[in-house]
A and B are shown apart, each in its own frame.
Chain A
Amino acid sequence: MRRERDHLRSWRGLTHARSTWRAACVLIMPFALTLLDACSGAQQSVLDPAGPQAVRTDKLWWLFFYVCAFVFVFVMIALFLALRRASLWRDETASARGVTELPMLRPAPEKERRTTNVIVGATCVTVVILFIFLVASYSVGRSLSTRMEQNNKVTIEITGHQWWWQVRYTDSNPQNIFETANEIHIPVGVPVTVELKSQDVIHSFWVPNLAGKKDLIPGKTSILWLRADHPGTYRGQCAEYCGMQHAHMALYVVAEPREQFDAWLAHQRAPASQPTDDSQRRGQQVFLSSPCIMCHTITGTTAGAHVGPDLTHLSSRSTIAAATLPNTRGHLAGWVVDSQGVKPGNQMPPNNLSSEDLMALLDYLQSLK
């Protein structure tokens, strides 16, 4: 009996105005809070497109979003109406009338036929919607993979490493080829071809504001093209789980006007600047005589290893450790001395340097504009 009363109370609870209002508030809260949060910006957002591919995908998203939202609301209304229309079996009133056996309902055949028609209709609508989705999705997909005509060819080769991005600007003139890491500069409005490779495990290159992601697979080369239509700095992140520090494998794409880009290019092609004062000179000696030289390259010196990022123009980059830390003196010092504390599991060993050596080394590294 008690159980039956509970059941009645909760059914009344569903229809009773005040508790319905309260229940509705609780139910809507996660959706409302999420939508509220959607108004605040984020660093790398799919819905804040800055390039033609992301723009098209964004439009496709809103088509899917509105149609799906409509379908969801429609199904929920149908379910609600079904419950409203269905007669409720109340154990309490039934047993008061002395009815204990529940008969199986046998709906009238003509009513069932009507229902069948409705279901067939709904299924047809489903098929039509899916077909529209399929065509829309396919045509957007085609336009994304068709490469754009380009006059000023910019080709960037990106190689994934655990857990940083090796960036190589190729050129028909071998003298102009140079390497950098974790920061890509591209000219605004010019399509850029990105060749994606991997040195170790599978990574995925993803800059949401510009384009969808593409996997970097060892033994294969994937091609992606990008175009930024507005100048700005766009963050990207590795999207395929690649091991312990997958969370700290990000990069920045800096889109800048053509002249600025060309200036940057010319600067990056130049070898590293030579030390200009005693401290920097000592720093260079520290670099060349310590384990640093085993992994890093600084053009114009004897350091030419390719295990870690190229440091030729380290100070021109805004972050270190694959966009994990801002490139400041303090962070750089922390990274050199104890990179494992910042990014456990990465390949760089801790360095025991005296404080004078460390300061000199920092002076030198910071001079590598």
Chain B
Amino acid sequence: MNAESSVIEKQREQTKASANQSQHQAAAEARLDRRELDEERDRRELERTWADGRGLWAWLTSTNHKTIATRYIITAFVFFLLGGIEAMLMRVQLARAENSFLSADLYNQIFTVHGTTMMFLFAVPIMEGMGLYLVPLMVGTRNVAFPRMNAYGYFTYLFGGLLLYGGFLLHTGPDTGWFSYVPLAGPAFSPGKRVDVWAQMITFTEIAALVGAIEIIATVFKQRAPGMSLNRIPLFVWSQVVTAFMIIFAMPAVMLASGFLAMDRLVDTHIFNPGEGGDAILYQHMFWFFGHPEVYIIFIPALGFVSTIVSTFARRKVFGYTAMVLSLIATAFLGFGLWVHHMFATPLPQLGQSLFTGASMMIAIPSGIQIFCWIATLWGGKVRLKTPLIFVLGFFAIFTLGGLTGVMLASVPLDLQVHDTYFVVAHFHYVLIGGAVFPLFGAFYYWFPKWTGRMLSERAGRWNFWLMFVGFNFVFFPMHELGLKGMTRRVYTYLPEMGWGDLNLLASIGAGILAIGVVVFLANVFWARRAGEVAGDDPWHSPTLEWATSSPPADYNFVHLPTVQGGYALWEKTVDAPVVVGLKTDCREVLATNVLDAEPDHKYQLPGPSIWPLMLALATAVAFVIGIFTPWAFPVAAALAFASLAGWFFSNPNSDNRRVKMTKPRPLAGHAQAQASEGQA
């Protein structure tokens, strides 16, 4: 608030100095005076303009990025808990040899739904949800670039999740693994509707992921605060942009794979049927061309959490900003060049395989650089050992171990021995839980005050961390040994003479400890929502813009859009930092800036609440859910989609502004005055 009023102060002084030079400037001064007096009125008007209203209708039509992102995060967390319950059931079943707690059929459904849930319904959506909440705040704008499409993305994701769990509860859960290899998943060996549920669920969630990716790219490239040139974008935002680009290149491959699979099953094509000249290996290529980048789609946003938390709690800039950004981009590129290491056991030429060995090992280089840079950041910092940082320290330990076993798996001979064994299960849980879930929990502790205005308990946070950390190692470390002892994956039981019983029991006990850790987290959240310490705007003294507004942020995010003087906006803020003024408050107007230097370019209006995204999502659901039973669903859905899109395009909720207005900001005396930031840069 101080900064904002001081900016206006500065503007007024500057204007005053030249006031009597021309009448025009005198008029400008008068306008500014009025503006200052009316700040309270602006606030009230912004509140009215950006409010979604209350009640069911408002819930269904909201296009606020924070509302939708919160839904993403909560929905994805519910799926995380469901996936966790499935994991617990599997651990109970495997706790001893020849256990009869779960039948083979149920176990196979459970491990399939567990994997599918964690990959498609938890990890990707929650990372995108974090991005959709934080990115507009971090780049200093009022909403994402395409707010209605954002709402559409959430509803398709929700319907996909409901389809999977609807099927599962009706005993029609998919049972062919989260990868659904053909021919096992083909019509001949998986009759019934189980695999169709899986294939269509994939399509739903991939649409949602693509939509979210487009939102993030457009928002970051066109709506950054003036002064936030590319080299000043916070590392978290960089990680979200890189992830979004990966999603755009990876997801179409799996949509194609699941689409072809659905066609083989529903309209009798033979794309993957070797008996009719199709190719079963083609499916694996298409699946893993998505499947491996998927891991990085989950993991790269987590690197953004880590960078943010490390720099905040070490009180200094992350060491090697450029190296960090280039490492993210290198990881993204390399991530597309190593899918074949999931297929080393298929008949492939040896030279080709070793290319993928090289690529898989190379990915350790950018990961290594990032870890070195974080350690260097801590080394020279002034460390506050708060819960978010403790989770990040846990990440270092677990992820480093998982990364090293990843290097082992890149080697063809070693992979041929441990591929599809519990060694791999251990490896990717180390990478995904250590690399993504631990930073995610750190991020929850870090941003919870921003979301709710209250702090989570530090004491409970310690318990939460240690229970999860110890429990995690108890579950997954023994699995390395189990894999080396020959225990294959996806087995619902094993014979007593195999000698796997003790380690499995240990892992099951660990799963219990891990689960208690998650329960402590939930209790902490419910307690803090009511009784947590009031946080204030910026409890951690953080560097990024989301902490420059109230907690929780108002619907419009900032009364005046901020400008940025350095890569760590709040730490490098000058006393007289200007803000953007002159955006209309009576409609949803935002400032568009250019891609490289974030110079103000034009203003445009975002649409407000709309029911059409939900309608279009319902049309999508008709296509893919009813499509399981009859292909006629598709023409019907196309008609419905056409109607929804017509409604979407011809009903601009800001009815007084049917066309987008393009206004060049005038300097100082005009509408937006952000040029001043250039002087400070």
A202-B383 contact in complex given A64-B414, A123-B368, A344-B104, C-beta closer than 8 Å: no
- Contact of A174 with B by CB under 8 A: no
Contacting pair A218 B183 (CB below 8 A): yes
A244-B486 contact in complex given A126-B368, A130-B362, A217-B346, C-beta closer than 8 Å: no
- Contact of A85 with B by CB under 8 A: yes
- Contact of A328 with B by CB under 8 A: no
A123-B372 contact in complex given A88-B385, A141-B350, C-beta closer than 8 Å: yes
1/0 contact trace for A35-69 toward B, CB 8 Å?
Answer: 10110111111110000001011001100110010
**Smallest CB-CB separation from B390: which chain A residue?**
A10
**Smallest CB-CB separation from A100: which chain B residue?**
B541
Most chain-A CB neighbours within 10 Å: which of B368, B418, B421? B368
| A343-365 at interface with B (beta carbon < 8 Å) | 344-345
A247–B493 CA distance with the chains assembled, in angstroms: 6
A81–B380 CA distance with the chains assembled, in angstroms: 11
1/0 contact trace for A269-284 toward B, CB 8 Å?
Answer: 0000000000000000
Nearest CB in chain B: distance from A68 CB, A:
4
- Interface segment out of the listed B53-61, B315-323, B592-600: B315-323
Nearest CB in chain A: distance from B347 CB, A:
4
- Contact of A97 with B by CB under 8 A: no
Contacting pair A246 B500 (CB below 8 A): no
| A236-257 at interface with B (beta carbon < 8 Å) | 237-247
Contacting pair B280 A239 (CB below 8 A): no
1/0 contact trace for B274-315 toward A, CB 8 Å?
Answer: 110001110000000000000000000000000000000011
What residues on B are CB-neighbors of A237 within 8 Å?
486, 488
The total of chain B residues at the interface (CB under 8 A) is 111
- Contact of A95 with B by CB under 8 A: no
- Contact of B361 with A by CB under 8 A: yes
Q: Which of A37, A89, A122, A137 contacts B372 (CB 8 A)?
A: A122
| B399-425 at interface with A (beta carbon < 8 Å) | 400-401, 404-405, 407-408, 410-421
What residues on B are CB-neighbors of A57 within 8 Å?
413-414, 416-417
What residues on B are CB-neighbors of A247 within 8 Å?
104, 490-494
Contacting pair B491 A82 (CB below 8 A): no
Most chain-A CB neighbours within 10 Å: which of B357, B380, B488, B502? B488
Q: Which of B371, B411, B459, B483 contacts A75 (CB 8 A)?
A: B371
Contacting pair A133 B361 (CB below 8 A): yes
| A122-169 at interface with B (beta carbon < 8 Å) | 122-123, 126-127, 130, 133-134, 136-138, 140-142, 144-145, 162
A332–B175 CA distance with the chains assembled, in angstroms: 30
1/0 contact trace for B473-490 toward A, CB 8 Å?
Answer: 110011011011110111
What residues on B are CB-neighbors of A76 within 8 Å?
396-397, 400
- Contact of B386 with A by CB under 8 A: yes
What residues on B are CB-neighbors of A89 within 8 Å?
315, 382-384
Most chain-B CB neighbours within 10 Å: which of A72, A213, A242? A213
**Smallest CB-CB separation from B313: which chain A residue?**
A89
1/0 contact trace for A72-93 toward B, CB 8 Å?
Answer: 1001101101110111110100
- Interface segment out of the listed A26-34, A179-187, A289-297, A298-306: A26-34
**Smallest CB-CB separation from A70: which chain B residue?**
B404
- Contact of A189 with B by CB under 8 A: no
1/0 contact trace for B1-39 toward A, CB 8 Å?
Answer: 000000000000000000000000000000000000000
Contacting pair A42 B500 (CB below 8 A): yes
Contacting pair B486 A3 (CB below 8 A): no
Contacting pair A6 B473 (CB below 8 A): no
Contacting pair A82 B379 (CB below 8 A): yes
What residues on A are CB-neighbors of B397 within 8 Å?
76, 79
A137–B415 CA distance with the chains assembled, in angstroms: 10
Contacting pair A141 B353 (CB below 8 A): yes
Contacting pair A246 B491 (CB below 8 A): yes
1/0 contact trace for B105-138 toward A, CB 8 Å?
Answer: 1001000000000000000000000000000000
Most chain-A CB neighbours within 10 Å: which of B103, B183, B354, B385? B385
Contacting pair A10 B385 (CB below 8 A): yes
**Smallest CB-CB separation from B396: which chain A residue?**
A79
- Contact of A208 with B by CB under 8 A: yes
What residues on B are CB-neighbors of A81 within 8 Å?
379
What residues on B are CB-neighbors of A88 within 8 Å?
382-385
Contacting pair A75 B320 (CB below 8 A): no
Q: Which of B319, B415, B485 contacts A115 (CB 8 A)?
A: B319
Contacting pair B417 A208 (CB below 8 A): yes
A44-B396 contact in complex given A30-B473, A137-B413, C-beta closer than 8 Å: no
What residues on B are CB-neighbors of A244 within 8 Å?
104-105, 108, 175
| B169-218 at interface with A (beta carbon < 8 Å) | 175-177, 181, 183-184, 188-189
A126–B361 CA distance with the chains assembled, in angstroms: 10
Q: Which of B177, B380, B413, B470 contacts A105 (CB 8 A)?
A: B380
Contacting pair B181 A7 (CB below 8 A): no
Most chain-B CB neighbours within 10 Å: which of A71, A87, A119, A204? A119
A239–B455 CA distance with the chains assembled, in angstroms: 48
A50–B488 CA distance with the chains assembled, in angstroms: 20
- Contact of A222 with B by CB under 8 A: yes
A214–B265 CA distance with the chains assembled, in angstroms: 28
- Contact of B358 with A by CB under 8 A: yes
Contacting pair B499 A212 (CB below 8 A): no
Nearest CB in chain A: distance from B47 CB, A:
31
Nearest CB in chain B: distance from A80 CB, A:
10
Contacting pair B417 A212 (CB below 8 A): yes
Closest 3 CB pairs of A and B: A212-B416, A219-B274, A44-B486
Q: List 5 A-B contacts (CB under 8 A).
A: A33-B478, A72-B400, A119-B373, A133-B407, A247-B494
Q: A119-B372, A239-B420 are in contact. List 12 more A-B contacts (CB 8 A).
A: A29-B474, A37-B503, A38-B481, A41-B499, A46-B485, A60-B411, A141-B413, A212-B413, A213-B420, A222-B347, A247-B493, A344-B103
